[in-house]
Amino acid sequence: MRRQQGSVIIIVLWTSVLLTVLVTVMAGKVQLSAKTAFHNASAVAAMASTNSAMYKAEMELILEKMTAPIDKEIEVDEDGNSRIDAYRFNGQALSLFNPLDEDMIVRIYDHAGKINLNGMSQQNLRLLIENRMGEDVDVDRVQELLMAWVDWFDLNDAANINGADTDYYESLDPPYSPRNYSELDSVEEIRLIRGFDELFKDVNLEAAFTVYGSTSRVNLNVATREAMQLLPGLDDELIEEIIAYRERKDFRSQSDVGNIVPLDSFVELSNWIGTNTSSYYSVFAYPKAELTDEELASGQDPVKQAYMEIVEVRGPRDRARVYKVDPYGRLPDTSPARVED
């Protein structure tokens, strides 16, 4: 009898254990399903907000191509001169004509504020390389980079002296072929050219360069920090002064730049800059981040990656043409001018 009672107790205990395990597993699955459903709903809502922001940004670019209404309020600078609306596409957080959701931020970068790699002359490329190398310029290394660049674009498979062509690239692991065409398809392609990945290893290439349009000069009103850091004649201090200036007023001519940049530096810089705008833009949209007191005080946006599209808007009758979509686009440096009052 006692043996039977002991067996029953053991069976009951094992049943209790199994039921406990079963309930725990089921509870875990229910909890996981609930979390999955919550995150899916959050992701769908975030994507909807992002898509809405991108459509409104596109409309803002189309409106910019239209004739301004007669009764439009004109923004003026501290000297009473009117500001040019197109220059607001310099990466600042925008207030759009069609208001955004409260938690969304849109930043638009005109590609006239980037260095155009397509159509760049060898002389300008040399200056760019030498400026990137700094004071310790290796003349032989500069020549190797120039020849590798030429070989990447020329139509034959024969390498120039100190250059690199098909034989070199096909010997790599993994192997690939050079462009052998006159234009790059993307900014990132320059990392494939021998030596250029190392030369620009710490540079946000998408922020500094463009391959779209025929613009050959950089407009300092919309220029990114990353582009200005590569331009001959500019150092970090001058770049911050340029950004501080354009926060208050527009650069209307090269003489305005000459009021900030010393003469010897301006001689180097003058052939690189203009006041042109383009029809190509990088558009970023993302939810606002919760800022610390330090970030609020500095004006620094902690967000480093965001949904990005490169678009072309030619006129008021055309929808934006999308050239690239990157859900994890790397934002250019969005900080306000780092200068004391």
Q: Digits of tens for pLDDT over the chain (341 positions)?
A: 555 655 667 777 777 777 787 777 777 777 766 666 655 666 667 788 999 999 999 999 999 999 888 777 888 888 888 999 999 999 999 999 999 998 999 999 999 999 999 989 999 999 999 999 998 899 999 999 999 999 999 988 888 999 999 999 999 999 999 999 989 999 999 999 999 999 999 999 999 999 999 888 999 999 999 999 999 999 999 999 999 999 999 999 999 999 999 999 999 999 999 999 999 999 999 999 887 767 666 677 899 999 999 999 998 888 899 999 999 999 999 999 988 75
Print the SS3 string covering 126-172.
HHHHHHHHCCCCCHHHHHHHHHHHHHHHCCCCCCCCCCCCHHHHHCC
Percent of the chain having pLDDT more than 90?
69
pLDDT attached to residue 331 = 96
pLDDT attached to residue 338 = 87
User: Rounded CA gap, 329 and 115, in Å?
Assistant: 18
Q: Is the dihedral of CA 172, 177, 182, 186 positive or negative?
A: negative
pLDDT attached to residue 5 = 58
pLDDT attached to residue 317 = 86
pLDDT attached to residue 68 = 81
pLDDT attached to residue 3 = 57
pLDDT attached to residue 293 = 67
User: Rounded CA gap, 272 and 184, in Å?
Assistant: 20
User: 300 by DSSP, 3-state: which?
Assistant: coil
Whats the size of the chain, residue-wise?
Answer: 341
> In 10 A of CB 144, how many CB atoms?
18
Nearest to 286 by CA among 304, 306, 265: 306
Q: How many distinct helices (H) and strands (E) make up the chain?
A: 11, 9
The model's pTM: 0.86
User: Rounded CA gap, 149 and 17, in Å?
Assistant: 71
Residue 48's identity, in one-letter code, is A
Q: Which pair of tokens denotes residue 45?
A: 């809502």
pLDDT attached to residue 111 = 98
User: Rounded CA gap, 317 and 314, in Å?
Assistant: 8
User: Rounded CA gap, 341 and 328, in Å?
Assistant: 35
Q: Which pair of tokens denotes residue 306?
A: 């965001």
Q: Where are the domains of the chain?
A: 1-119+185-341, 136-182
